[in-house]
Amino acid sequence: MTETWTELPDSEEFEHDGEPVGSDDDLDHDGYDAGDDPASQPPGTPSEPPVDTGAKGDGGIPFPVAKAAIPTWVKEHGNGEIPTELMIKVAPIASGYLVPEAAAAWRNLQNAAAAQGFTLTMTGSYRTLQGQKDLFEQRYTTSNTGRKAKVWNGTTYWLKAGMAMAAVPGTSNHGWGCAVDAALGGYGNAAQSVGEPFLSWAVANARQYGWSWEVQSEPWHLRLVSFASADAPDPAPDRAVQDSVAETRPPDPPVPPQPTLTLDSKGGQVAALQNLCLLFQWGDCGKADGTFGPRTKEAVKVMQAAIGVVPDGEYGPRSAAALKVALAAMAGR
């Protein structure tokens, strides 16, 4: 992968953070349920071998780029000021939080990656406002270095030598809990940089799970660009770049959430299940909040009836297997 950034139109809207580095210092299992995370489970057998299309990350993988999709309720709290109790801990790292809508989409993407033999993890996600300030002050100075300049609170700051750019505090899409710095293999020191053949698969498939992968500028960074909700944005990208990879290899059918999920279950897999119920209008689960309550149970019953499973409201292996067949059929596979 090239380390040169390719500037896009209105590139200041897009965040450049520099390649993230996993560290065991970031590990934090508080609030994290390993059973909810496919990256913490033993690897399964891929449904088919990963496909290397031959595309490379030096501009050879064009991909539609869209602005981040931020849920209305999240905007009301403010960038970097979302209470973590309203989020889902999706990774065993200190910053491993996402808002439920993004957590659902992330688990969907992880599940799909796992089905192809990729262990998708992360080195960071939610960034508090204070964290954004600390990062900005670490990388920028009020002394003119001759490098890229940004204005924060009316003061001009210049990028320090040897530093990667960072967003002005209060503008980071990480501050909305809707962005991920992705990795492969594990968390902390076990995290590995994303690369081929994973990137070709990701570019061909990420969009259907609601993510825009920043291959043109930061191959490790992705942002939420659509989600299943009443206030969800138009799924069409704001600026489309021809996706030659998708032409080479059509997107995979959606992958079901991992079972078993029952009343009072919590986490990203529950949010992913709710996301599918919303997407296909199976019952009324309310919203993808990651909590399996009575409304979700009734929605699951509707889903089960639709896919030919006994509608008992418990999402177990039989429901997951039947859902996999149904989703593949709806995708024309």
pLDDT in tens, 17-48: 667 788 899 899 999 999 999 998 876 555 44
Residue 66 banded pLDDT, cuts 50, 70, 90:
low
CB distance 95 to 125 below 8 Å? yes
Q: In residues, how long is the chain? A: 333
- CATH number of the domain enclosing 307: 1.10.101
**Whole-number Å distance between alpha carbons of 82 and 104:** 17
Helices (H), 17-68: none
- CATH number of the domain enclosing 31: 3.30.1380
Helix, strand, or coil (residue 100): helix
Angle at 178 (CA atoms; ends 176, 181), nearest 5 degrees: 115
Evaluate whether residue 154 is within a structural domain: no
pTM (2 d.p.): 0.81
Please check whether residues 193 and 299 belong to one and the same domain: no
Question: 210: domain range?
Answer: 14-127+172-248
Please check whether residues 96 and 176 belong to one and the same domain: yes
Please check whether residues 204 and 283 belong to one and the same domain: no
Angle at 225 (CA atoms; ends 221, 228), nearest 5 degrees: 130
The pLDDT tens digits for 236-287 are: 333 333 333 333 345 667 788 999 999 999 999 999 999 889 888 999 998 8
Evaluate whether residue 224 is within a structural domain: yes
Please check whether residues 225 and 274 belong to one and the same domain: no
* Structural domains counted in the chain: 2
Evaluate whether residue 62 is within a structural domain: yes
Please check whether residues 235 and 282 belong to one and the same domain: no
Evaluate whether residue 135 is within a structural domain: no
Please check whether residues 274 and 243 belong to one and the same domain: no
CA 70, 76, 80, 83 torsion: positive or negative? negative
CB distance 273 to 105 below 8 Å? no
Q: How many CA atoms lie within 13 A of 140 on its CB side?
A: 22
Please check whether residues 35 and 116 belong to one and the same domain: yes
Please check whether residues 195 and 326 belong to one and the same domain: no
Please check whether residues 176 and 297 belong to one and the same domain: no
Q: Which of 248, 282, 297 is the endpoint of a domain?
A: 248
**Whole-number Å distance between alpha carbons of 20 and 62:** 22
Please check whether residues 180 and 320 belong to one and the same domain: no
